[in-house]
Amino acid sequence: MPKITAATVAEHKVRTRDLLLDAVESLVIERPFASVSMRDIAERASVSRTVIYNYASDPISLLVEATHRGSAEVRAAVAEQADQVTVSPSIRLREIVTVLLRDYARSTHTMLTVLGMERHSTNEQLTEALVYFRTRIGRSIMDVVRDGVEAGEFAPVADPQLTLAFMVGVMQSAVHKIMDLPDDRRDSVADAAADFLLNALSGTSTRGRE
């Protein structure tokens, strides 16, 4: 088992925790979260199966912590694009989607994994992580959609929450595909997802049938 070298005990603990969070992120890319055990995480992180319990009591705690670790950085990146009010809403939304799927694919995958578990769990930790997603990242996305509606770039949205759910579904499918691809092929999937969402929001297919 490799040794973790650190100048202080506190630094050692931070590094160990990061290894565990990296491990759970990589494991949920490879398999359903329900099949991930504390033993799997410890082995992936090269951490003792006894030591891991000094950091978390179960896999879901580590998954939620990994979500929080990545979500703050993702939130800042999304907000940066959303707040550029002098830029067209459609361009801002394209940038947000590509940032989520290209620049922060791993963190986005982890967040959407937690989101996908919502219907099958009443875990309070999951609920807290999802509140962050909806009130921070989701709100920024829907603010841009609202701006697009007001500017006439997007069709009116009758149910914002349902619209966000549809958008999340597209991004979930895209990010699952992206994580299976080499780096040089990921941009095309992110671009395709952005095109799909912009076409859907513009109402192009609906107008085309009228």
Question: What is the set of domains in the chain, with CATH numbers?
Answer: 1-57 (1.10.10.60), 60-209 (1.10.357.10)
Lowest mean pLDDT among 27-36, 64-73, 114-123, 184-193: 114-123
Contact 154, 163 (CB under 8 A): no
Residue 130 in this model has a pLDDT that exceeds 70: yes
Rounded to 5°, the CA angle 161-167-173 comes to: 135
Q: Please, which pLDDT band fits residue 205 given cuts at 50, 70 and 90?
A: very low
Strand, coil or helix: 55: coil
Prediction pTM value: 0.80
pLDDT one-digit tens code per residue, 70-89: 888 889 999 999 999 999 99
Q: Please, which pLDDT band fits residue 171 given cuts at 50, 70 and 90?
A: very high
Q: Annotate 126-144 with b (16+ C-beta within 10 A) or e (fewer).
A: beebbebbeebbbbbbbbb
Residue 6 in this model has a pLDDT that exceeds 80: no
The residue-averaged pLDDT of 17-46 equals 93
Rounded CA Rg of the chain: 19
- Distance in angstroms (rounded) separating the CA atoms of residues 65 and 152: 40
Residue 182 in this model has a pLDDT that exceeds 50: yes
Largest CA distance in the chain: 68
